[in-house]
Amino acid sequence: MTNQRSDDNNNPLLNSGIEYFSDEVKRSGIMNYRSTALPTWCPGCGYYGITHGLANALKNLHVNNNNLVIVSGIGCAGRYPFFVKGYGLHGIHGRALPIASGIKMVRPEFTVLAIGGDGDGLGIGGGHLPHAIRRNIDITYILFDNAIYGLTKGQASPTTPFGQYTKTTPYGNPEKPLNPILIGLAYGASFVAQGFAGFPQDLTIVFQEAIQHKGFSFVVVTTPCVTFDHANITYQRFRNIWKKIPEDHDKQNLANAMALAQDGNYYNGILFQDHRNAWHDVQQSIRKNTSITK
């Protein structure tokens, strides 16, 4: 009797549905890219907006679910693969990029997305980013940047502003934050873009471009952690400070992209893109034993 109430059965992921979606959403077709699992995120978390933006992008591109693989690290963001209809690997903390690269290398026909939080991608996993970028492996990396460690309940992250109070910085964060866009550019990424979780429609456009880009795409999404950050990235503060990228910005101009990355503004969209050979192209020349620099 009492066994039937054991906690094995109260795993919400198993029994829940996605009934909470409106008919309109269901009709839109994005449910083809959502699993039946109920997200584990707090109500109001920016990640819902990102999920919406991404599902729409996948829908618009008619991505084949069978060839869709989402790899993530650990963190609130890391839970993302469970909520997508496709194949997923919820890996270990900080290692989404090596794992995603390994998958893409052997299955070039796959659409591979790597997902991770700011702690995951710039803290513990920060050593992998420059090298995935150098390889220009054709995956899309989406950094969910809430400038906080969400899952472990509110510690400072590599993008937490200097002076901010968090659980591990009770006297204010003593470290200068990293600028993910700038370092992505400095590493030589062939595609760098950013967006805000509060603007899912804009995200959809960026994600579409990123997925279509041949090579490594680095997308930084600023997103509020409504539970552990009431001071920094909030919807109220951030909705208004986003700018359009200047009309005359040349996406192929690295110096300009770096300038935009440092001028203190948040720009919605693609800051940089070039079209050098992606990893598989280079490898193709190796196999043919022709010069790879051609």
Partner 1 sequence: MIQAADDIVIKICGSAGDGSISAVEILNRAAALMGYHIMNFDAYPAEIRGFGKSVGHTRISRSVLLTTGKYTDCLVALDDVHAITELSTMSKRGVLIYDSKPPQYHQEDQAVAGFIEPGMIGYGIPLRELSTIAVRSSRSRNIVALGVLAALLHLQAEYFETAIRKRFSAKPETVIDNNINAFRLGFDYTLQNVNKYDELDFQHHVYSSNRDSIIMSGNEAAARACLDADLRLYAGYPITPATRIMEILAKELPLKGGFVVQTEDEISAAGHVVGAGFAGARSLTATSGPGICLMSEMINLAVMAEIPSVFIDSQRGGPSTGLPTKTEQSDFNIAAFGGSGDSPRPVLAPTSVPECYLLTRIAFDLAECYQTPVIILMDFFLSNRFEDIDLNQLNSNVFGRFTPQTAPLKDQPYLRFEVTDTGISPRAIPGMENMFHTVTGLEHDERGFPNYGKANHLKMTAKRHKKMETLVRDWQETGTFGPEGQLDVGFISWGSSVGAVMEAISLLNDQNIHSGGFFPRLLSPLQTSHLEVFSRRCKRIIVVEMNYTGQYANYLQVAISKRMERFTRVDAEPISSEDIVNWIIKDES
Ligand X SMILES: Cc1ncc(C[n+]2csc(CCOP(=O)(O)OP(=O)(O)O)c2C)c(N)n1
- The binding site for ligand SF4 (CB under 6 A) comprises 41-42, 45, 47, 76, 146, 150, 225-228
CA separation for the pair 262, 219 (Å, rounded):
17
Within 10 angstroms of residue 224's Cβ, the number of other Cβ atoms is 27
Task: Tell me which residue of 187, 186, 204 sits closest to 195, measured CA to CA.
Answer: 204
- Contact between 209 and ligand X by CB under 6 A: the answer reads no
Residue nearest to Mg ion as judged by C-beta position? 117
- Contact between 165 and its own copies by CB under 8 A: the answer reads no
Partnered with residue 158 across adjacent β-strands are none
CA torsion, ordered 129, 130, 135, 137, to nearest 10 deg: 30
- Contact between 39 and ligand X by CB under 6 A: the answer reads no
Q: Cβ 222 to ligand SF4, closest distance in Å?
A: 12
- Residue linked to tokens 């109260």: 10
SS3 call for 108? coil
- Contact between 71 and partner 1 by CB under 8 A: the answer reads yes
- 241 binds, options ligand SF4, its own copies, ligand X, none, Cβ within 5 to 8 A by partner type: none
Contact segment (CB under 8 A) with partner 1 among 36-44, 49-57, 192-200, 256-264 equals 36-44
Per CB under 8 A, which of residues 246..265 are in contact with its own copies? 254-255, 258-259, 262
Give the CA distances from residue 15 to residues 30, 90, 124, 230, in Å, rounded to whole numbers and listed in that order.
Answer: 21, 20, 34, 33
Q: Which of 57, 68, 77, 261 binds ligand X (CB under 6 A)?
A: 77
- Contact between 171 and partner 1 by CB under 8 A: the answer reads yes
Both tokens of 292, joined, read 């790879």
Residue number, 60 or 155, with CB nearest to ligand SF4: 155
Using DSSP bridges, classify how beta strands 191-196 and 266-273 pair: parallel, antiparallel or unpaired: antiparallel
> By the 8 A CB rule, do 89 and 97 touch?
no
What residues contact 292, with CB distance under 8 A and at least 6 apart?
282, 285, 286
By CB under 5 A, name the binding residues for Mg ion. 117-118, 146, 150
> By the 8 A CB rule, do 49 and 75 touch?
no
**Total residue count of the chain as it appears in this document:** 294
- Contact between 93 and ligand X by CB under 6 A: the answer reads yes
Contact segment (CB under 8 A) with partner 1 among 68-76, 183-191, 211-219, 237-245 equals 68-76
Per CB under 8 A, which of residues 138..167 are in contact with partner 1? 149-153, 155-156, 158, 167
Q: Cβ 273 to Mg ion, closest distance in Å?
A: 26
- 102 binds, options its own copies, Mg ion, partner 1, none, Cβ within 5 to 8 A by partner type: partner 1
- 74 binds, options ligand SF4, Mg ion, ligand X, none, Cβ within 5 to 8 A by partner type: ligand X
